[in-house]
């Protein structure tokens, strides 16, 4: 922990999210602003004002009282130290906040928080923060999809080794790999759009969720309240039905998980032995304090770390869904940890991804060179399938398997081993063998998949 003076504020940073050293590695200023204390309290006030206006519209409180509340309730007039102390004592910030808002609003203050319960205000404020946070995530995903579509198109025909179980398997193209990344984020964009109607709904239901304090006007006030905030109207109270918030954080975990997969690929391909891709060069970025030659994949490392962090928060949100009766006695509080951290980490990871992929250096020459490391064995399947029409698949497999053993035990290339095997040359001449052992000739539908993925993504917009 350290102390630093920033303007007139004293910052006591104890996590990466508020650390002057690490906060922009694991988050972004825009997302931190959405989930800052100031924004949170401002959303509480916005919700209280919306409630007063809705109740005035429905004839529950005087119209002039609602207008006074709207005009005078404000963040700048709060005693924040008192709010902090009383929140620490009460356990929730709404009652201490209402005390101060009542005083701000004078005689109209008697109508502040009319018929509401603490969770109504806090849940709805969180929905407003989620709304703003999702807008940032949505824009970042759109930008990343554009970057990935560009990479896929540019490297549609850039041949490289496809690897399974960390071994060279079959030839692919780097554009094909990027197209797979792109399709993941197209699906995430679709998921994000689909969850909005389920999640962006208000919460106003009163002490036990029945709106009993407002008599026969409860549902009308609830609808007017949601309309004031631009939110959907819930079918039932969701004080203890937390699937909406859990869905949001699990979506963020899916997004972060995909970023982690991309990061892992970049880190492996950037390793000295592969040397096929590099993050953009920035003087000093990824440097070692002792090894001048090092160029560490910093953005990928941060993306991977963030993906692990969000995954843990997704588990916490699932656990927090199990709540008791009509008001939880602890699981609700766990959401306060998971929501903000998940959004900040995901935004940070997306920021790192846009940087790393937006300037990704792709070494097509090294990719082609690495294809030759197996001395042609990477296209053994191609030879087998070319020989199979003459010998049958199983015999072709055994013939090529034997040729692969010759290469592994005695050296040379697969093409050379095949040319010395009568079981092959009685069916395939030298030109056919050369054609079958060229990795560029065994790419299957990779290029077509790239075209399809890029077209589908651009059609989605």
Report the catalytic residues: 165, 288
Question: In this structure, are strands 159-164 and 9-13 parallel, antiparallel, or unpaired?
Answer: unpaired
- Tokens (6 digits) for 377: 């064995």
Give me the phi and psi of 344, to 5 degrees please: -65, -45
What is the rounded distance in angstroms from the CA atom of residue 87 to the CA atom of residue 333?
14
Among the listed residues 189, 197, 196, the one whose alpha carbon sits nearest the alpha carbon of residue 254: 189
In the beta sheet, which residues pair with residue 5? Answer: 10
Among the listed residues 341, 267, 249, 250, the one whose alpha carbon sits nearest the alpha carbon of residue 303: 267
Q: Are 249 and 314 spatial neighbours (Cβ–Cβ below 8 Å)?
A: yes
Give the C-alpha distances (Å, rounded to integers) separating 346 from 14, 60, 154, 370: 20, 42, 27, 34
Q: Are 40 and 32 spatial neighbours (Cβ–Cβ below 8 Å)?
A: no
User: Which residues touch 228 (CB under 8 Å, ≥6 apart)?
Assistant: 50, 51, 53, 54
Q: Are 204 and 223 spatial neighbours (Cβ–Cβ below 8 Å)?
A: no
Q: Are 430 and 422 spatial neighbours (Cβ–Cβ below 8 Å)?
A: no
Which letter does DSSP use for residue 279 in this model? P
Give me the phi and psi of 221, to 5 degrees please: -65, -40
């Amino acid at each position: 922990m350290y102390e630093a003076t920033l303007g007139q504020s004293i910052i006591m940073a104890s996590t990466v999210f508020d650390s002057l050293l690490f906060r922009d590695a694991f988050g972004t200023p825009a997302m931190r602003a959405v989930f800052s204390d100031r924004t949170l309290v401002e959303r509480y006030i916005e919700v209280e004002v919306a409630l007063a206006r809705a109740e005035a519209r429905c004839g529950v409180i005087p119209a002039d009282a609602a207008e006074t509340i709207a005009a005078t309730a404000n963040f700048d007039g709060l005693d924040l130290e008192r709010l902090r102390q009383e929140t620490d004592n009460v356990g929730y910030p709404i009652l201490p906040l209402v005390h101060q808002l009542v005083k701000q609003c004078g005689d109209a203050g008697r109508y502040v928080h009319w018929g509401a319960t603490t969770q109504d205000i806090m849940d709805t404020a969180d929905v407003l923060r989620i709304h703003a946070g999702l807008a940032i995530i949505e824009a970042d995903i759109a930008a990343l999809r554009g970057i990935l579509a560009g990479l896929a198109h540019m490297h549609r025909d850039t041949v490289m080794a496809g690897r399974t179980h960390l071994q060279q398997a079959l030839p692919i193209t780097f554009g094909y790999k990027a197209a797979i990344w792109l399709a993941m984020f197209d699906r995430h964009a679709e998921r994000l759009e689909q969850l909005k109607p389920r999640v962006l709904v208000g919460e106003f239901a009163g002490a036990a969720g029945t709106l009993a304090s407002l008599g026969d006007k409860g549902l009308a006030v609830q609808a007017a309240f949601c309309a004031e905030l631009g939110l959907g109207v819930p079918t039932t109270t969701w004080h203890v039905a937390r699937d909406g918030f859990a869905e949001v954080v699990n979506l963020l975990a899916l997004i972060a998980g995909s970023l982690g997969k991309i990061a892992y690929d970049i880190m492996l391909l950037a390793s000295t032995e592969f040397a096929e891709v590099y993050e953009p060069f920035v003087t000093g970025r990824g440097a070692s304090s002792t090894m001048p030659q090092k160029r560490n994949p910093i953005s990928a490392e941060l993306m991977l770390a963030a993906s692990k962090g969000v995954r843990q928060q997704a588990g916490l949100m699932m656990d927090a869904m199990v709540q008791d009766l009509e008001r939880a006695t602890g699981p609700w509080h766990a959401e306060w940890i998971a929501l903000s951290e998940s959004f900040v980490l995901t935004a940070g990871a997306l920021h790192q991804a846009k940087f790393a992929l937006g300037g990704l250096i792709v070494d097509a020459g090294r990719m082609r060179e690495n294809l030759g490391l197996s001395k042609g064995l990477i296209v053994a399947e191609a030879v087998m399938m070319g020989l199979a029409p003459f010998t049958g698949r199983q015999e072709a497999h055994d013939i090529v398997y034997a040729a692969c053993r010759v290469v592994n035990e005695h050296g040379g290339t697969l093409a050379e081993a095949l040319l010395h095997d009568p079981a092959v040359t009685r069916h395939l001449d030298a030109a056919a063998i050369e054609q079958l052992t060229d990795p560029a000739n065994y790419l299957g539908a990779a290029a077509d998949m790239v075209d399809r993925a890029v077209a589908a993504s651009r059609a989605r917009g």
